[in-house]
Amino acid sequence: MSKLALGTVQFGLDYGILNTTGQAPLEEVKKVLKLAKEHNIDTLDTASSYGNSEEVLGKIGVNDFKIVTKTISLQLGVDNVLQSFYQSLTDLNTTNVDGLLIHNIEDAKDKQFDILYKELDKLKKDKLINKIGFSTYTPDQVDFLLDNFDFDLIQVPFNVFDTRLIEGNQLNLLNKKDVEIHARSVFLQGILLNFKYLDSSFSKWTTQFDDYQKMVKNSGLSLLEYALNFALNTQEIDKVLVGVNNEKQLREVFKSVKEQEALSSYSICDVNLLNPSLWKT
């Protein structure tokens, strides 16, 4: 099976700082999923908060794929979180999912979380979900989870600029606990594919961006090839999530997969760049 997994946020929302094509139409999503299957992609990542992406997937049919979806906020109550999960099954037109991730890490600190976790464990025993996990944004959150919970699956931000989880040894620790690791943000919402059209809020990193592009040029790879293969060749990572708007983009991704030795990172230790929620755009 491919180490690539398909993110589906673009199937339900207009997503990505450099996305100029908007939400993918249904017919285009069908082509994308057909192509993904032909290239042995077996995992789709979605969430009820991704617009109508779950419904789109359900209309097309996803029984040939492993599905990973996510919870709504625990602030809405345990019953509503569970009800939302059952609604996801209905929307996806499936009877079970491979993974259910706690979407907001703050939920793990909520006084109701023990109750929710027991309910999720029941869902796992009843085979409605195979893996329980968490979606994270920072190394501190990963540390918190490693210290406090046993879990099966984690989604983390990871890319050639953001190697904090290698430097902090978290990826290695997750591997030792047999936690399946899915890497998202491998293109940093498109920044790593195209530096030309960024607005002035990114100007403070211009020197580093220029230096990185020289490094990539010297490698003989394109920006897409470098960013993609950097993540794919990181041994600790089990799945690399890519999001596309159309079949053409997915073909470009497949063409960019290389039999490549490990590539050098270009770490930029600035959370204001690495965390898209902090971007001033």
Query: Is the per-residue pLDDT at 191 higher than 90?
Result: yes
Q: What is the mean pLDDT of residues 74-89?
A: 98
Q: What is the mean pLDDT of residues 18-27?
A: 70
Query: Is the per-residue pLDDT at 213 higher than 90?
Result: yes
Where in the chain are the domains?
Answer: 4-278
Percent of the chain surpassing pLDDT 90: 87
Q: What is the mean pLDDT of residues 152-175?
A: 98
Q: Return the closest-CA partner of residue 189 out of 276, 65, 269.
A: 276
Count of alpha carbons within 13 angstroms of residue 242, beta-carbon side: 29
Query: Is the per-residue pLDDT at 55 higher than 70?
Result: yes
| Sign, CA torsion 240/67/246/280 | negative
- 49 pLDDT tier (thresholds 50, 70, 90): confident
Q: What is the mean pLDDT of residues 142-152?
A: 98
More confident residue, 128 or 245: 128
- 50 pLDDT tier (thresholds 50, 70, 90): confident
3-state secondary structure 77-132: CHHHHHHHHHHHHHHHCCCCEEEEEECCHHHHHCCCHHHHHHHHHHHHHCCCEEEE
For the segment 98-131, what is each residue's pLDDT rounded down to a tens digit? Answer: 999 999 999 999 999 999 999 999 999 999 999 9
Q: Return the closest-CA partner of residue 274 out of 137, 166, 103, 144.
A: 137
Instruction: Please answer whether residues 256 and 187 qualify as being in contact, where contact means their C-beta atoms are separated by less than 8 angstroms.
Output: no
Query: Is the per-residue pLDDT at 3 higher than 80?
Result: yes
Count of alpha carbons within 13 angstroms of residue 8, beta-carbon side: 32
| pLDDT value at residue 186 | 98
Q: What is the mean pLDDT of residues 20-45?
A: 91
Q: What is the mean pLDDT of residues 193-212?
A: 95
Q: What is the mean pLDDT of residues 121-147?
A: 98
| pLDDT value at residue 261 | 78
More confident residue, 83 or 189: 83
Query: Is the per-residue pLDDT at 227 higher than 50?
Result: yes
Q: What is the mean pLDDT of residues 140-154?
A: 98
Taking every pair of Cα atoms in the chain, the longest distance, rounded to a whole number of angstroms, is 55
Q: What is the mean pLDDT of residues 232-249?
A: 96
- pLDDT averaged over the chain? 94
Q: What is the mean pLDDT of residues 218-230?
A: 97
What CATH class is the domain 4-278?
alpha beta
| pLDDT value at residue 15 | 56
- Which strand (E) or helix (H) includes residue 181? strand 180-184
pTM for the full predicted model: 0.95
Q: What percent of the residues of the chain are helix, what percent strand, and what percent coil, each to the nearest 5? A: 50, 15, 40
| pLDDT value at residue 12 | 83
